[in-house]
Structure 1
Amino acid sequence: MQIDKIRSEQTDQLFKAILELKNIEECYSFFDDLATMSELQSMTQRLEVAHALRQKKTYDRIQNETGASTATISRVRRCVDYGSGGYNMVLNRLYPELEENTDKK
């Protein structure tokens, strides 16, 4: 499985730490300490691109709305379509009204 490439004790520890966060304010505090502003902006941009792709927006519109490069949009597209299913899982939970009938991986 694709996620095996990132699996490690250290990654488990990070994910367990994230799962311990209780609310958005705790997330802000933790991620402010954990990641640089650039890293956080990149992650938020990729999630927004995935959301826009699920809404069937064009690459041009996504680029204009998010500032993402076409390379980033293409990479996110590959993950949405052929990745481990993480984007689709999270987006289905955040926006159940937009849930697609995609393969649940």
Structure 2
Amino acid sequence: MTDESRIKSKQIDEFFDAVLMLKNKEDCYKFFEDVCTVRELHSITQRLEVAKLLKIRKTYNEIEKETGASTATISRVNRSLNYGAEGYELVLDTLIARDLERKKKNKK
């Protein structure tokens, strides 16, 4: 059984359809502020940051210090990176490249 078949449902399809209707970052803020608790949103964004740092080969200790994530969270994200549905891979290279570009611009 694939990860997709394990989570796929009519309700999740509808949720993803709703997310895809969002036009810009401001729409995302409004939607997710209503749909998620602040804690849920912070957890999701923390996991994405952990994934970025794992992808650029930071150590668990460095990631823990930088993000405040527990080693259990870091391990869970690492497992998803290695054995998951490759969802992180859809965005990580672009996010990392954007971060590097911003750092270059800030140094100038």
TM-score by length of structure 2 reads 0.86
Equivalence map 1:2-81=2 (5 Å): 2-81=3-82
2:97 and 2:87 map into 1 onto residues whose CA distance is 15
- Number of matched residues? 98
Unaligned runs of 5+ in 1: 99-105
TM-fit CA distance, 1:97: 7.5
2:24 and 2:91 map into 1 onto residues whose CA distance is 16
TM-fit CA distance, 1:29: 0.2
Bigger relative CO (Cα 8 Å, ≥ 6 apart) = 2
Deviations 1:67-89 (A, max 9, x none): 00000000000001110000111
What amino acid is aligned across from residue 63 of structure 1 in structure 2?
E
Structure showing the higher helix proportion among its residues: 2
TM-fit CA distance, 1:94: 2.5
- What's the counterpart of residue 101 of structure 1? none
- What's the counterpart of residue 89 of structure 2? 88
Q: Which structure has the larger Rg over C-alpha atoms? A: 2
What amino acid is aligned across from residue 88 of structure 2 in structure 1?
Y
**Matched residue SS, 1:95:** helix
Give the superposed CA RMSD: 1.4
1:96 and 1:68 map into 2 onto residues whose CA distance is 23
1:51 and 1:3 map into 2 onto residues whose CA distance is 22
Q: Which 4+ residue blocks in structure 1 deviate beyond 4 angstroms?
A: none
What amino acid is aligned across from residue 54 of structure 2 in structure 1?
L
1:96 and 1:60 map into 2 onto residues whose CA distance is 23
